[in-house]
């Protein structure tokens, strides 16, 4: 069992190291600690992290939350969400009335939105391995800890953590086939997420034995597949997040202008594809 704080029952600031349930998106994303998305900004440049835009809830995020609720808290999804399958868009009066009744737009889905959420749930429900993992555990578990090497405050949020210590992270994607999703892993640094989440959890005294990505296609038929990264990918992820944290810690210690704000001038050439197009054109002449 994990000792957790129920955010709705907690008063005052959260402890530096803790695990939290029922924490609203706004509270989590505005917490003054470094998340995986923050690491991605630091990886681009420290300036991009230092001058990041404040958190703002978007409709895209609301739909993502609905998908998470359908998969990881299905009973709550059925009881709290208002589905309007016959309403085409959010300009309709029926939608506005439903939002007023619900008290938030987050719990109201129009036709194409509810079709997408329900379609993804129905597809995953056929995946016996995934459904077994999601049968009992902690949905949307937020974890906070302090990095031992840098002293930086860190956070992560597990989509779902089983009572047996298996993390399941939902990834919406265009294509779940191996070579296609492999590109997504590299492009979005999912290997860094895997390693970072395991590290933060360990700092908080939580034993995460496995980390699995549940890839689900956004378009019908919403094919889905579970992936587990190999040891090499995890090792690269550990090196990358440690490098990012070290770079940011050194910046905080030294101060000054954050790296990446002003960059050196550079000679620019055409990309290879443009040169290839030019060569093809000359050949045709």
Residue predicted with more confidence, 3 or 56: 56
- Output the pTM of the full model: 0.91
166 close to 194: Cβ distance less than 8 angstroms: no
Query: In terms of Cα–Cα distance, which of 184, 70, 76 is closest to 131?
Result: 70
pLDDT, position 133: 97
Domain ranges of the chain: 5-87+115-254
Distance CA 94, CA 37 (A): 36
Label residue 280 by pLDDT band (50, 70, 90). Answer: low
Label residue 285 by pLDDT band (50, 70, 90). Answer: low
State the architecture of 5-87+115-254 in CATH terms.
Alpha-Beta Complex (3.90)
Range 128-134, long-range pairs (CB < 8 A, 24+ positions): 129/226, 130/168, 130/214, 130/224, 130/226, 133/160, 133/162, 133/166, 133/168, 133/212, 134/71, 134/72, 134/160, 134/162, 134/168
166-184 tens-digit pLDDT: 999 999 999 999 999 999 9
Residue where the block lists tokens 């953590």: 161
pLDDT over threshold 80, residue 283:
no
103-123 tens-digit pLDDT: 999 999 999 999 999 999 999
């Amino acid at each position: 069992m994990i000792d957790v704080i129920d955010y709705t029952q907690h008063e005052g600031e959260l402890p530096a190291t803790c695990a939290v349930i029922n924490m609203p998106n706004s509270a989590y994303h505005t917490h003054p600690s470094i998340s995986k998305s923050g690491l991605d900004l630091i990886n681009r440049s420290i300036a991009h992290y230092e001058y990041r835009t404040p958190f703002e809830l978007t409709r895209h995020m609301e739909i993502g939350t609905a998908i998470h609720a359908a998969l990881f808290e299905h009973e709550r999804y059925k009881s709290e969400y208002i589905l309007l399958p016959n309403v085409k868009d959010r300009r309709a009066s029926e939608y506005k009335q439903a939002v007023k009744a619900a008290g938030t737009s987050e719990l109201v889905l129009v036709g194409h939105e509810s079709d997408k959420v329900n379609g993804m749930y129905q597809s995953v429900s056929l995946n016996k391995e995934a459904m077994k993992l999601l049968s009992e555990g902690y949905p949307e578990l937020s974890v906070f800890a302090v990095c031992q090497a840098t002293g930086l405050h860190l956070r992560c949020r597990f989509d779902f953590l089983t009572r047996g210590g298996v993390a399941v992270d939902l990834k919406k994607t265009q294509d779940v086939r191996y070579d296609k999703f492999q590109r997504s892993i590299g492009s979005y640094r999912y290997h860094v997420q895997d390693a970072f989440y395991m590290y933060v959890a360990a700092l908080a005294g939580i034993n995460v034995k496995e980390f699995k990505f549940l890839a689900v296609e956004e378009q019908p038929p919403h094919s889905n597949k579970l992936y587990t990264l190999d040891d090499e990918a995890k090792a690269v992820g550990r090196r990358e997040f440690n490098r990012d944290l070290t770079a940011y810690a050194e910046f905080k210690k030294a101060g000054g202008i954050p790296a990446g704000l002003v960059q050196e001038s550079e000679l620019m050439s055409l990309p290879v594809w443009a040169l290839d197009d030019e060569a093809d054109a000359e050949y045709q002449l």
